[in-house]
Structure 1
Amino acid sequence: MQLRTTPNIADPDGFYQELIESQREMTEAEAELMNCKLVLILANHIGDRSVLSEAIERARGPIG
């Protein structure tokens, strides 16, 4: 499996809105915990260690 870096969410604005709304009533700490849990759930779904390692490296790098 290869890390997909091109847009792949059918409704990115809708997804972003859902994510923001899901955290609206949370404290900053609760929202951070939810984000960590979401990352682990999605990492488990991906499962491929090489893809996850590449994603970690890209996330650590500069934005853009």
Structure 2
Amino acid sequence: MPLITTPNLSDPDGSYAALIAAHDGLTETESHAFNARLILVLMNQIGDAQVIAQALRIARETGVK
């Protein structure tokens, strides 16, 4: 399964709002821990080590100045 790099959310604004709402009331430390758990859940859902590696590489490259 190749990594999807084009917009693929049926409701991007709703998805973003749900993500922000999930952080409501969390401290910064709790928010970071939540993000880590969410990433692990989504990595498990993907299940393909090559796709995960590609996603990690893209995320790292796009975040470097």
Smaller-chain TM-score range? over 0.9
TM-score, structure 2 as length reference: 0.92
Q: Structure 1, unaligned stretches of length 5 or more? A: none
SS state at 2:45 partner: helix
Which runs of structure 1 show a deviation greater than 2 angstroms over 4 or more consecutive aligned residues? none
Q: Report the aligned-residue RMSD.
A: 0.8
Alignment of 1:34-45 (within 5 A): 34-45=34-45
Give the gaps of 5 or more residues in structure 2.
Answer: none
Indicate the percent of aligned positions where both proteins have the same amino acid.
44
Shift of 1:41: 0.2
1:58 aligns with 2:39: no
| Paired position in structure 1 for 2:48 | 48
C-alpha distance in structure 2 between counterparts of 1:23 and 1:57, whole Å: 25
One-letter amino acid of the counterpart of residue 38, structure 2: L
Secondary structure of 1:13's counterpart equals: helix
**Residue 17 of structure 1 aligns with which residue?**
17
Give the Cα–Cα distance (whole angstroms) in 1 for the partners of residues 5 and 44 of structure 2: 18
